[in-house]
């Protein structure tokens, strides 16, 4: 078992010539965040839940990276790992998260204005966030100021006891200025930039006095108040109506253009991905199964999971009465461990003896950084891996037993 | 564990859990009321897995035993459908007859204030709806949250007593009966014919009841089925929704969201109803599972002649499933039409805005949506005239003073807009169809494509 899995383990990837290495569209220098072989686990009484099984991705500077996947695929956990806010008892088991704060022209000027109680700034050009203590000054100076996050539920992520203005100013006062009047001026300014009518008034309102779309705007304002290098948006429009969703997407697109920040956009909606993202990674059960530019992904998907996902969404102008494409079964529960390719129990093209035994590695498909992890494609079966000699009967796939056979 | 990098494959104390489960198994078996015997062809392994799944909390392991049957054309299922269709709780209507007529339906919630809690105003959640639903069709109600679409569904079922108007249900034996005025006895006769499926599959099933008891509940109340016959009916119902009869002895927590929604459907089907209200029935599901449930609903409709009132905010789902659509805005209907007509050429500016706001799954089609400014007005304090005039890009002076009635603008297409005829509104264009297929076997060009199943495993990298 161990030898079969080894190509996906961190040790094997250090070798740049390794065929199983992830495929990127951007070089390391062009990325803001470089997630390398990230493993996150949650030890529970029922066993260890491996939420991430070696995730690699780069967030290109000034671009929008979409992270798509169904619930339980690990897309939110990856974002929380970057922010170092994984819920207990979860922890980063191994891997690196390299963050490049990059060039910020007004850095010195703003530094001079920093409040005395501000957390110590990280000066190194590249910081490995996975190594930082979540409670440390370094992490605190990055969280909120360099990397900001917006969440799905604006009502639960805003504090009902403080006014909107208060909550926005909190970050500004912590990171940027001691001057209360200046903090208020900036808060009102940012409220205006996120399209709030009458920002002065909104500044003094409590969250319950705003509608869902307004609250999400307030969240965005809070996230942008310190002008972060990177914004993580975790399903920011899922709880909103279509009309509000369109407003928020347009706002984020415009803010991204104006500030040039990078965005990780986590969503399960293929429509939203198509509308806002530049690059996309598709996740399934804690692994990235495919990555490509957004056009490549929608017009030339390769992984059976991506293809099935795209074909299972109802689209305008479809033939009436034609049944939708379905993926059989559902996402396995986090405690079960699927040997081989994690998608094989649901995959229509699963090959017994291969897919249920060998973990596929990533290989490039065509040009322009399109990477896929599926035994159907050349280079995805790790060198030296042996398919099970007695191929399992396709009708009787049993994970526990298949795993034992592999040993 | 921290120092040692985990291997790519996640095998952690698998043995521990398995043995744990088998140890506890006998207890749990006796604890569960198992209404159905294990079929003889079932292997011991499957039983073990099932028991394991039901003992270890919220686990729905993706075992074959658990997998929902996607093939809805099996012989057992056909048989079950026939049995279910044969069940008569009164006579059935013919397809095309008007099943439900809603006239001036009104549901106002009082706003109370002061020491004696006198009513100071009303939230007009539903304010004067008129529509008719034909037997065998899918009638969709769409709109933003708070527009009153769920209240409409509940008011039709008399779960909320309407404050005004009529809900006329065409019952096969009682004839056309107004549910709002109907006696308790008549309502009880009609109710088996109208069922509802709720949005949240996690809160709509009682976690303390086995699946068998959940599905049996409507049968126990409304039919004389007991004992063996009841168990057989439960087994049929589970088969009909693509689950297995053995699932009856488990509790809802052992199932995934999609499976629970199927259980909700099985419960709604228990009395072989004429009409099912699907209140956001697929909104909480993952995309891949949503397609499964939508296909099941469509299949059941053709097999059992069901009528659906499909309440949803997802317009692409509505376009796929419905025959007629009603667009609601602040408790009123803005537009009703056949689905193709409304999506191709909406006549109300609100419908146009809704359609253009749907994010299209096509990166080459990043059209700027017609963004509506502002928020939905409160139904407690709606604007004057046309409720939409505050956000409408085409609003004229008349819109803020006169409320437009819902009127026929040609060919049965109803719209409540002063300028429905003049405006040339944009519908949706078809999203490019997928040019690729889901592979079901190794594709040409795949290292595994040529030769036998495992041929080329050693040498494929060279070629």
Q: Which of B6, B63, B287 sits opposite A39 (nearest CB)?
A: B6
Peptide bond preceding A89 in cis form (omega within 30 of 0): yes
pLDDT band of B47, cuts 50, 70, 90: very low
Least trusted range by pLDDT, from A75-84, A297-306, A346-355, B310-319: A346-355
CB-CB under 8 Å, B453 with A333 = no
Which of B56, B257, B319 lies closest to A46 in CB terms?
B56
Choose, out of B142, B263, B288, B312, the residue to mutate when testing the contact with A (most A CBs < 10 Å). B288
Of A173-182, B122-131, B132-141, the poorest mean pLDDT is in: A173-182
- 3 state DSSP class of A231: strand
Q: How many CB pairs under 8 A join A and B?
A: 309
How far apart are the CA of A263 and the nearest CA of chain B, in angstroms? 17
The pTM of this model reads 0.81
Kindly report, residue by residue over B353-399, the tens digit of the pLDDT.
999 888 888 888 887 777 788 778 888 888 999 999 999 999 999 99
Beta strand spans in B72-163 (E): 98-113, 118-134, 138-142
Is residue A170's pLDDT more than 80? yes
- Start-to-end C-alpha separation, chain B: 40
Label residue A319 by pLDDT band (50, 70, 90). Answer: confident
Residues constituting chain A: 407
- Of the partner residues A9, A46, A324, the one whose CB lies closest to the CB of residue B295: A324
* Residue B65, pLDDT score: 39
pLDDT interval class at B24 (50, 70, 90): very low
Q: Distance between CA atoms of B205 and B260, rounded to whole angstroms?
A: 8
Tokens of B315: 């317009």
Band of pLDDT at residue B175, cut at 50, 70 and 90: confident
Q: How far apart are CA A291 and CA A281, in angstroms?
A: 4
Q: Is the pLDDT of residue A377 over 60?
A: yes
Report yes or no: A78 and A129 within 8 Å, Cβ to Cβ. no
Distance in angstroms (rounded) separating the CA atoms of residues A125 and A120? 15
Q: Say whether residue B311 is in contact with chain A using an 8 A CB cutoff.
A: no
| Structure token digits, residue B223 | 């039919």
Per-residue confidence at A110, pLDDT binned at 50, 70, 90? low
CB-based contact, B28 to chain A, within 8 Å: no
Whether B286 and A70 lie within 8 Å, measured CB to CB: yes
A386 burial class (0-12, 13-18, 19+ CB within 10 angstroms)?
middle
DSSP string of A299-357, one letter each residue: HS--SHHHHHHHHHS--TTPPTTPPPP--SS-PPPTTS---SSTTTTT-TT--TTTTTT
pLDDT of residue A154: 77
- Token readout for B304 is 């059992």
Once rounded to an integer, what is the mean pLDDT over residues B27-42? Answer: 41
∠ CA(B244), CA(B246), CA(B248), 5° rounding?
95
Buried b (16+ CB within 10 A) or exposed e, B348-374: bbbbbbbbbbbbbbbbeeeeebbbbee
| CA dist., res. A327 & res. B158, Å (int) | 37
Mean pLDDT over residues B9-14, rounded?
42
Question: How does residue A82 score in pLDDT terms, banded at 50, 70 and 90?
Answer: very high
Q: Is a pLDDT exceeding 60 seen at residue A386?
A: yes
DSSP string covering B326-349: EEEETTEEEEEEEHHHHHHS-SSH
Q: Which residue does chain A place closest to B42, by CA atoms?
A: A396
With beta carbons under 8 A apart, name residues in chain B contacting A249: 359
pLDDT band at residue A104 using 50, 70 and 90 as cut-offs: low
Q: What is the pLDDT of residue B440?
A: 73
Residue A207, φ and ψ in degrees, nearest 5: -55, -35
If you write DSSP's letter for every residue of B362-426 in order, what string do you get?
-TT--PPP-PPPS-PPPTTSPPSSSGGGGT-TT--GGGGTSPPPPEE-STT-EE--TTTTT----
Mutate which of A74, A242, A268, A320 to test chain B, going by most B C-beta atoms within 10 A? A242
DSSP strand E in B179-272: where?
194-197
Task: Map residue B192 onto helix, strand or coil.
Answer: helix
CA B163 to chain centre: 27
Which pLDDT score, from 0 to 100, does residue B451 have? 42
Instruction: Find, among B156, B8, B317, the residue nearest to A95 by Cα.
Output: B8
CB-based contact, A7 to chain B, within 8 Å? yes
Residue A55 pLDDT level (bands cut at 50, 70, 90): very high
Using only the alpha carbons of chain A, give its radius of gyration: 22
The reply to whether A243 touches chain B by the CB within 8 Å rule is yes
> How close does chain B come to A183, measured CA to CA in Å?
27
Of B292, B439, B441, the CB nearest to A326: B292
CA distance A273 to A233: 12
Q: What is the pLDDT of residues A335-376, one digit of tens each?
A: 778 888 999 988 888 888 888 899 999 999 877 889 999 998
CA angle A202, A207, A209 (to 5 degrees): 70
| A193, A221 contact by CB (below 8 A) | yes
A162–chain B Cβ distance below 8 A for any pair: no
- Whether B59 sits inside 8 A of A336 (CB atoms) is yes
Residue B244 — very low, low, confident or very high, per pLDDT cuts 50/70/90?
Answer: confident
* pLDDT 10s digits, A247-300: 889 999 999 998 889 999 999 899 999 999 999 999 999 999 999 999 999 999
Q: Do A324 and B320 touch (CB under 8 A)?
A: yes
Which residues does residue A34 pair with via DSSP β-bridges, in sequence order?
Answer: A58, A98
Q: Which tokens belong to A285?
A: 């059960």
Q: Does B371 lie at the interface with A, CB-CB under 8 angstroms?
A: yes
Nearest to A277 by CA among A267, A290, A287: A267
How large is the average pLDDT for residues B219-242?
89
Span B288-294, average pLDDT: 88
| B373/A217 Cα distance (integer angstroms) | 13
Decide if pLDDT at B66 tops 70: no
The per-residue pLDDT for B71 is: 65
Mean pLDDT to the nearest integer, A105-112: 53
State the pLDDT at residue B100: 94
Cα-flanking dihedrals φ and ψ of residue A247, to 5°?
-60, -45
What is residue B459's predicted lDDT score, i.e. its pLDDT? 34
pLDDT tens for each residue of B296-312: 999 999 888 899 999 99
From residue A196, alpha-carbon distances to A188, A190, B229, B374, B375 in Å are 9, 9, 62, 9, 12
* Nearest-neighbour CA in chain B from A389: distance (Å): 9
What are the φ/ψ torsions at residue B412 (nearest 5 degrees)?
75, 5
Give residue-wise pLDDT tens across range B75-113: 888 888 888 877 765 566 777 789 999 999 999 999 998
Round the average pLDDT of chain B to a whole number and report it.
Answer: 80
The span from the CA of A42 to the CA of A28, in Å, is: 29
Q: Say yes or no to pLDDT of B28 above 80.
A: no
| Residue B347 phi, psi dihedral angles, 5° rounding | -110, -5
Give chain B positions within 8 Å (CB) of A377. 446-447
Cα distance between residue A153 and residue A166, in whole Å:
19
At residue A275, the pLDDT reads 92
For the question of an ipTM over 0.90, the answer is no
- Tell me, yes or no, if A388 comes closer than 8 A to chain B by beta carbon: no
Average pLDDT over residues B54-71: 44
pLDDT value at residue A360? 92
Q: Where are the domains of chain B?
A: 8-27+98-321, 44-94, 324-429
Q: How far does the CA of residue A49 sit from the closest CA of chain B (Å)?
A: 9
| Partners of residue A268 in chain B, C-beta under 8 Å | 286-287
What is the dihedral sign for C-alpha A236, A238, A240, A241?
A: positive
Residue A317 phi/psi, 5° resolution? 80, 10
Q: With contact defined as beta carbons under 8 Å apart, do A52 and A40 qualify?
A: yes
Q: Supply the pLDDT for residue B252.
A: 92
d(CA A20, CA A382): 7
pLDDT cut 90: percent of chain A above it: 36
Res B55 pLDDT > 70: no
B419 CB-near residues (< 8 Å, 6+ apart): B394, B396
Q: Cβ of B83: how many Cβ atoms within 10 Å?
A: 16
Residue with tokens 């048989």: B79
- Structural fold of domain B8-27+98-321: Rossmann fold (3.40.50)
Coil/strand/helix, residue B151: helix
CA distance A218 to B175: 54
The conformation of residue B315, written as its DSSP 8-state character, comes to: H
pLDDT at A107 (0 to 100): 55
Residues in chain B with CB shorter than 8 Å from the CB of A53 are 6, 8, 10
How many whole angstroms separate alpha carbon A407 and alpha carbon A400?
11
CB contact at 8 A, B319 and B354: no
Q: Which residue in the block uniquely carries the two structure tokens 């249900």?
A: B169
Residue A395 binned pLDDT confidence (cut-offs 50, 70, 90): very low
Residue A391 pLDDT > 70: no
Half-sphere CA count of A270, side-chain side, radius 13 A = 25
Cα-Cα end-to-end distance for chain A: 5
In which band, very low, low, confident or very high, does the pLDDT at A70 lie, cut at 50, 70 and 90? confident
Q: How many Cβ atoms sit within 10 Å of the Cβ of residue B412?
A: 11
Q: Which residue of A has its CA nearest to B431?
A: A316
According to the model, what pLDDT value does residue A112 have? 53
**If you average pLDDT over each of A39-48, A161-170, A174-183, A212-221, which comes out highest?**
A161-170
Closest residue to A329, CB basis, from B62, B433, B441: B62
The CA distance from B361 to B364, in Å, is 9
Average pLDDT along chain A: 82
């Amino acid at each position: 078992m161990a030898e079969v899995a080894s190509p996906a383990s961190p040790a094997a990837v250090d070798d740049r010539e390794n065929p199983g290495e992830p495929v990127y569209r951007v070089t390391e220098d062009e990325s803001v965040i470089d997630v390398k072989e990230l493993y996150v686990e949650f030890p529970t009484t029922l066993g260890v839940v491996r939420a991430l099984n070696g995730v690699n991705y780069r967030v290109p500077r000034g671009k929008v990276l979409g992270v798509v996947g169904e619930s339980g695929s690990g897309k939110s956990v990856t974002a929380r790992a970057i922010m170092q806010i994984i819920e207990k008892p979860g922890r980063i088991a191994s891997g690196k998260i390299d963050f490049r704060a990059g060039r910020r022209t007004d850095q010195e000027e703003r530094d001079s204005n920093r409040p005395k109680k501000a957390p110590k700034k990280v000066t190194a050009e590249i910081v490995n966030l996975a190594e930082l203590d979540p409670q440390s000054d370094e992490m605190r100076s990055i969280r909120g100021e360099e990397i900001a996050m917006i969440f799905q539920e604006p009502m639960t992520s805003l504090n009902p006891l403080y006014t909107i203005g208060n909550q926005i100013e909190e970050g500004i006062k912590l990171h940027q200025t001691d001057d209360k009047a200046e903090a208020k001026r900036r808060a009102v300014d940012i409220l205006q930039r996120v399209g709030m009518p009458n920002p002065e008034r909104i500044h003094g309102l409590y969250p319950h006095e705003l509608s869902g779309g307004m609250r999400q705007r307030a969240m965005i304002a809070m996230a942008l108040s310190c002008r972060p290098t990177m914004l993580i948006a975790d399903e920011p429009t899922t709880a909103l109506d279509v009309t509000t969703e369109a407003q928020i997407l347009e706002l984020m697109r415009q803010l991204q253009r104006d500030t040039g920040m990078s965005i990780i956009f986590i969503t399960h909606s293929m429509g939203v991905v198509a509308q806002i993202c530049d690059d996309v990674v598709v996740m399934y059960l804690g692994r990235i199964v495919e990555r490509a530019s957004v056009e490549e992904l929608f017009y030339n998907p390769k992984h059976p999971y991506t293809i099935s996902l795209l074909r299972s969404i109802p689209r305008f102008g479809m033939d009436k009465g034609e049944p939708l494409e379905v993926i059989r079964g559902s996402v396995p529960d986090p405690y079960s461990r699927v040997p081989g390719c994690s998608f094989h129990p649901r995959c229509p093209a699963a090959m017994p003896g291969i897919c249920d035994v060998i973990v596929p590695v990533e290989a490039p498909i065509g040009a322009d950084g399109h990477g896929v992890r599926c035994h159907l494609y050349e280079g995805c079966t790790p060198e030296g891996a042996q398919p099970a000699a007695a191929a399992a009967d396709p009708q009787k796939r049993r994970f526990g037993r298949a795993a034992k056979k592999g040993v | 564990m921290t120092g040692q990098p985990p291997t790519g494959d996640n095998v952690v104390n698998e043995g521990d859990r398995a043995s744990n489960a088998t140890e506890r198994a006998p207890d749990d078996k006796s604890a569960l009321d198992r209404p159905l015997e294990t079929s003889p062809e079932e292997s011991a392994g499957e039983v073990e897995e099932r028991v394991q799944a039901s003992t270890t909390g919220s686990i729905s392991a993706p075992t074959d035993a658990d997998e929902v049957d996607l093939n809805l054309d099996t012989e057992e299922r056909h048989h079950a459908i026939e049995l279910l269709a044969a069940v008569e709780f009164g006579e059935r209507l013919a397809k095309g007859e008007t099943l439900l007529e809603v006239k001036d339906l009104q549901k106002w919630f009082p706003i109370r204030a002061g020491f004696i809690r006198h009513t100071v105003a009303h939230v007009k959640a539903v304010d004067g709806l008129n529509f008719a639903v034909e037997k065998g069709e899918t009638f969709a109600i769409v709109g933003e949250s708070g527009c009153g679409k769920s209240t409409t569904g509940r008011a039709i079922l008399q779960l909320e007593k309407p404050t005004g108007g009529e809900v006329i249900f065409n019952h096969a034996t009682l004839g056309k009966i107004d549910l709002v005025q109907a006696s308790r006895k008549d309502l009880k006769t009609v109710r088996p014919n109208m069922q509802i499926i709720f949005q949240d599959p996690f809160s709509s099933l009682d976690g303390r009841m086995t699946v068998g008891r959940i599905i049996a509940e409507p049968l126990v109340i409304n039919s004389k089925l007991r004992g063996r016959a009841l168990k057989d009916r439960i087994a049929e119902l589970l088969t009909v929704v693509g689950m297995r009869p053995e699932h009856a002895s488990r509790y809802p927590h052992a199932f995934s969201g999609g499976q629970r929604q199927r259980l909700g459907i099985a419960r709604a089907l228990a009395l072989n109803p004429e009409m099912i209200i699907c209140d956001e029935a697929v909104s909480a599901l993952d995309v891949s599972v949503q397609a499964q449930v939508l296909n099941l609903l469509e299949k059941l409709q053709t097999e059992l002649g069901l009528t659906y009132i499909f309440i949803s905010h997802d317009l692409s789902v509505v376009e796929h499933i419905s025959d007629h659509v009603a667009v609601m805005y602040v408790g009123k209907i803005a537009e009703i039409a056949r689905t193709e007509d409304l999506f191709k050429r909406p006549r109300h500016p609100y419908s146009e805005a809704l359609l253009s706001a749907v994010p299209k799954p096509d990166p080459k089609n990043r059209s700027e949506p017609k963004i509506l400014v502002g928020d939905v007005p409160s139904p407690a304090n709606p604007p004057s005239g046309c409720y939409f005039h505050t956000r409408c890009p085409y609003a004229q002076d008349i819109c803020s003073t006169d409320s437009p009635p819902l009127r026929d603008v040609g060919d049965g297409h109803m719209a409540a807009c002063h300028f429905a005829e003049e405006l040339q509104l944009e519908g949706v264009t078809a999203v490019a169809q997928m040019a690729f297929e889901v592979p079901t076997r190794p594709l040409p060009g795949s290292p595994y494509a040529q030769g036998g199943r495992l041929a080329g495993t050693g040498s494929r990298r060279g070629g």
